[in-house]
Amino acid sequence: MAIPQTFIQELLDRTDVVEVVGRYVTLKKGGANYMGLCPFHGEKSPSFSVSPTKQFFHCFGCGKNGNAIGFLMDHAGMNFVEAVKDLAQNAGMQVPEEDVSPQDRERAAQARQKQTTLTEVLEKAGEAYRKHLKSSPQAITYLKNRGLSGEIARQFGLGACSRMFGVPRPV
Ligand SMILES: [Zn+2]
C-alpha cells in the first residue's frame, strides 16, 4: 500500500511530535526543548529531548532519534502504515488509500474479470469469422478483388460472416 509522500509531509506538518511522544513519556519543558526519561534505554536522569521546532526527538544517552512516525514505529511497535493512520486520525486527516473500501476493491476486481471475459469472447468470435472466411471462396474472391491478399487478411484478422448477410461478406 503506497501512501503519497505529499500526504506524509502534510501529516507531519499538522502533527506535534511533542504531543505524540507525550502520550508515552512524561515531558518537561527545558529551554527550547522538552526533556524526559528516554523510553528506549533505562536511565534515572532525563537525556531524552524533543524539539517542537525541529519536530524531532533525540536521546543523548542512546542516540535514538526520529520524527513522530519514527517514534510510533520504534516505541509503540507500529508499522509505517499503522503509524501514519494513527497520526492521521489524530490530525483529523484521511489517509488517501483508505478511500478504497473492501466493497470498492471487490467491484474493481469484478469489472476486471468481466473485461477479460469480454476480450476472450471477442477473440473467439474473431477466430470463428476467420475460419469461416478461409472456407468461403466468395469472400476470398471479394477480398482479392479489393486488392487484399490472404496474407493481409490474416494480418488484420479479417473474417467473414454469412449468417448476417446470406452471402459471405468480409466483416
Ligand atoms: Zn535513550
Per residue in 21-64, pLDDT (tens digit) is 999 999 999 999 999 999 999 999 999 999 999 999 999 999 99
Q: Identify the H or E element spanning 57.
A: strand 56-59
The cell for 48 is 531524552
* Alpha carbon of 67 to ligand 1 centroid (Å): 15
Report how far Cα 126 is from the mean position of its chain's Cα atoms.
Answer: 35
Residue 106: which pLDDT band, with cuts at 50, 70 and 90?
confident
Say if residues 57 and 51 touch (Cβ distance below 8 Å): yes
Task: Find the CATH number of the domain harbouring 90.
Answer: 3.90.580.10
Highest mean pLDDT among 52-56, 114-118, 124-128, 150-154: 52-56
pLDDT score of 162: 47
What type of residue is 110?
A: Q
Say if residues 158 and 170 touch (Cβ distance below 8 Å): yes
Q: Is residue 170 included in any domain, yes or no?
A: no
Q: Is residue 104 included in any domain, yes or no?
A: no
Q: Which residues hold their Cβ within 5 A of ligand 1, which is an ion? A: 38, 40-41, 59, 61-62
Residues 145 and 87 in one domain: no
Among 99, 125, 141, the domain-final residue is 99
* Alpha carbon of 116 to ligand 1 centroid (Å): 56
Say if residues 106 and 51 touch (Cβ distance below 8 Å): no
Residues 29 and 83 in one domain: yes
pLDDT score of 164: 47
- Asked whether the predicted pLDDT for residue 169 surpasses 60, the reply is no
